[in-house]
C-alpha cells in the first residue's frame, strides 16, 4: 500500500439530499415527473437538527435543478451547509460566481461546490454540450481559473482561453466574508486528480475498500490534497439486523431499471462510472469485503457501494478509511432519512471516540 498522510482533523460527514422525503429501496427506478419540495424541506430540517455537516444537492437531467432549491432551503435551515453539484459549460464563470456569491449572503456562507465535468456524452448533449472527456476537464480548468480570480478580488478579470473569453469582469457583490466556497472536484481519472490539486480543496470519488482508496488517492495525498468518498451506509445494532435490512432493500429488484443503468454505463465516458462498475462486477457474491456490499451498484450506480454492519463495525471501518487518507464522506441510505438518523445518532459518536483513541 502506498504511504499516506493520516488526516489530523476529525472526519467530516455529509449526506446526499434525496429527491423527496427519501428513497425507500435500493433497486427501484428513480422517481421522476414531480417534485415533493415539502419533503425535501423536511429532510433538510432534520439534517439541521442532527448536526449534518452538509447536504449534497445533486444534478442530473432526471432531477430538479439544485440552484433554486438551495436558494429556498438556506432560508428554511440554520446551520447545515449545502454542496451544489454543478457542471461547467452551462453558465459563464462570471454569472456563476455572481449566483454563488448571492447564495453566500442569503445563507451566511453555507454553500460549497461540487464541480463535475460530466459523466455521459449522451446526457451532456441534452444540454447542447458535445465536448469529449478531456476537453470537458480543460473547460473546467478554465472555468475554475476565472472563478478563483473573481473571488480573489484583485481587480477586473480578463481571460482568453479555448473555452472562455472574459473581458474586465467585475462583481459588486463579493462572497460573504471574503474568500470563496469550499470546492470538491469529482472524478476518478488522473486529470480529475490534477484539477483537484490545482483548483479544489477535496478530490471526491466513489467508494472502494480502504486499501483500494489508499492506492488510488496516493497522488492526491502526496500532493497535499484532501480525499472524500461518496457511498452508502447501512448500520444497525447488530450485523444480523443490518444484513436483514439489506436483504429487504434488495428484494424484488426492478430489472428494467437495471438494464437502463447498464445502457447508461455503456454510453458513459467517465472513468469514475466505469471503474465503479468494474469494481462491483469483480466482487465475490456482491461483497468487496465483509463490510462492503456492491450488489446495489447495478441499480444505483457508483455511489451505491454500501458499507454494511453493526454500529461498531461501521465506525471501526470508517477509521480504517481515515488511516488510508480519507477526510470526508458523503453518504446516502435506504430509506435515506432513517439511515441518516441512525448514523448521526449511533455511528458518529462511536467514530469520535475511536478518533480520540487513535489521536492519543
Give the pLDDT band of residue 359 (cuts 50, 70, 90): confident
Q: Are 184 and 227 in contact (CB under 8 A)?
A: no
Grouping H, G, I as helix, E, B as strand and the rest as coil, residue 118 is: coil
CA 126 to chain centre: 22
Percent of the chain with pLDDT over 70: 95
Whole-angstrom distance, CA of residue 89 vs CA of residue 100:
16
Can you give the pTM of this predicted structure?
Answer: 0.93
Number of H helices, E strands in the chain: 14, 13
CA distances from 42 to 48, 68, 330 (A): 10, 16, 19
pLDDT digits (tens, 9 = 90+) for 68-88: 999 999 999 999 999 999 999
- Read off the pLDDT of each residue in 203-220 and give the average, rounded to a whole number: 96
Task: Considering only residues 32 and 198, tell me which one the structure prediction assigns the higher pLDDT.
Answer: 198
DSSP of 21-68, one letter per residue?
S----SSSPPP-S---HHHHHHHHHHHHHHT-SEEEE---TTS--HHH
Q: Which of 18-32, 139-153, 320-334 has the lowest mean pLDDT?
A: 18-32
The answer, yes or no, to whether residue 1 has pLDDT greater than 70, is no
Whole-angstrom distance, CA of residue 46 vs CA of residue 30:
23
Q: Are 13 and 348 in contact (CB under 8 A)?
A: yes
Neighbours of 102 (CB within 10 A): 16
CA distances from 9 to 200, 261, 263 (A): 18, 37, 41
Give the pLDDT band of residue 315 (cuts 50, 70, 90): very high
- Read off the pLDDT of each residue in 303-331 and give the average, rounded to a whole number: 97
Whole-angstrom distance, CA of residue 222 vs CA of residue 208:
19
Q: Which CATH superfamily is domain 12-359 in?
A: Luciferase-like domain (3.20.20.30)
All three cell numbers of 201, joined, read 480543496
The answer, yes or no, to whether residue 8 has pLDDT greater than 60, is no
pLDDT digits (tens, 9 = 90+) for 222-254: 999 999 999 999 999 999 999 999 999 999 888
Give the pLDDT band of residue 274 (cuts 50, 70, 90): confident
Amino acid at each position: 500500500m502506498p504511504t499516506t498522510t493520516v488526516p489530523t482533523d476529525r472526519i467530516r460527514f455529509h449526506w446526499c439530499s434525496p429527491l423527496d422525503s427519501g428513497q425507500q429501496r435500493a433497486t427501484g427506478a428513480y422517481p421522476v415527473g414531480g417534485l415533493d419540495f415539502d419533503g425535501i424541506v423536511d429532510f433538510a430540517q432534520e439534517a439541521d437538527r442532527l448536526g449534518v455537516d452538509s447536504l449534497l444537492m445533486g444534478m442530473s437531467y432526471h432531477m430538479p435543478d439544485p440552484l433554486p432549491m438551495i436558494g429556498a432551503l438556506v432560508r428554511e435551515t440554520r446551520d447545515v451547509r449545502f454542496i451544489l453539484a454543478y457542471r461547467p459549460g452551462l453558465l459563464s464563470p462570471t454569472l456563476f460566481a455572481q449566483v454563488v456569491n448571492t447564495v453566500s449572503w442569503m445563507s451566511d456562507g453555507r454553500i460549497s461546490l461540487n464541480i463535475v465535468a460530466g459523466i455521459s456524452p449522451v446526457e451532456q448533449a441534452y444540454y447542447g454540450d458535445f465536448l469529449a472527456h478531456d476537453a470537458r476537464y480543460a473547460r473546467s480548468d478554465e472555468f475554475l481559473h476565472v472563478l478563483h480570480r473573481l473571488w480573489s478580488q484583485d481587480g477586473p478579470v480578463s481571460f482568453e482561453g479555448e473555452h472562455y473569453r472574459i473581458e474586465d469582469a467585475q462583481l459588486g457583490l463579493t462572497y460573504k466574508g471574503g474568500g470563496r466556497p469550499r470546492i470538491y472536484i469529482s472524478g476518478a481519472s488522473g486529470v480529475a486528480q490534477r484539477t483537484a490539486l490545482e483548483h479544489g480543496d477535496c478530490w471526491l470519488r466513489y467508494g472502494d475498500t480502504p486499501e483500494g482508496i489508499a492506492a488510488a488517492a496516493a497522488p492526491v495525498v502526496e500532493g497535499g490534497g484532501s480525499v472524500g468518498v461518496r457511498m452508502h451506509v447501512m448500520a444497525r445494532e447488530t450485523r444480523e439486523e443490518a444484513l436483514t435490512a439489506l436483504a429487504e432493500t434488495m428484494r424484488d429488484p426492478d430489472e428494467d431499471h437495471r438494464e437502463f443503468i447498464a445502457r447508461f454505463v455503456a454510453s458513459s465516458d467517465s472513468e469514475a462510472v466505469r471503474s465503479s462498475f468494474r469494481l462491483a462486477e469483480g466482487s465475490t457474491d456482491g461483497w468487496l469485503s465483509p463490510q462492503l456490499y456492491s450488489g446495489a451498484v447495478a441499480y444505483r450506480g457508483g455511489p451505491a457501494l454500501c458499507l454494511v454492519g453493526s454500529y461498531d463495525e461501521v465506525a471501526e471501518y470508517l477509521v480504517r478509511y481515515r488511516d488510508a487518507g480519507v477526510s470526508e464522506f458523503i453518504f446516502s441510505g435506504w430509506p435515506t432519512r432513517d439511515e441518516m438518523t441512525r448514523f448521526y445518532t449511533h455511528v458518529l459518536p462511536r467514530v469520535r471516540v475511536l478518533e480520540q483513541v487513535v489521536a492519543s
